[in-house]
Amino acid sequence: MKITATKDGPYLVPTGGRAAIDGEVIEKAQVALCRCGHSQNKPFCDGSHKAAGFEAPAATVELELG
């Protein structure tokens, strides 16, 4: 699995089309998770990083799930 931290933005996590977070089923190819701490819809990104002036470099994390 590849998790992408976007420049000045959220983590993008692939779901394979479906995910469950705290019992909430989400049917999307990926979810955007907040990393700035300002989202009013945590753990999801709501775009608050833009108004907050959040700055962070882009990065990619590769995970091998066994």
Dist. CA 55–CA 7, nearest whole Å: 7
Give the pLDDT confidence score for residue 30 in this predicted structure: 95
Give the pLDDT confidence score for residue 14 in this predicted structure: 94
Residue 51, phi-psi category: left (phi > 0), alpha (psi -120 to 50), beta (remainder): alpha
Give the pLDDT confidence score for residue 65 in this predicted structure: 84
Range of the domain at 21: 2-62
What CATH number has the domain bearing residue 22? Answer: 3.40.5.90
Give the pLDDT confidence score for residue 45 in this predicted structure: 98
Count of structural domains within the chain = 1
Report pLDDT digits (tens) over 1-59: 999 999 999 999 999 999 998 888 989 999 999 999 999 999 999 999 999 999 999 99
Residue 34, phi-psi category: left (phi > 0), alpha (psi -120 to 50), beta (remainder): beta
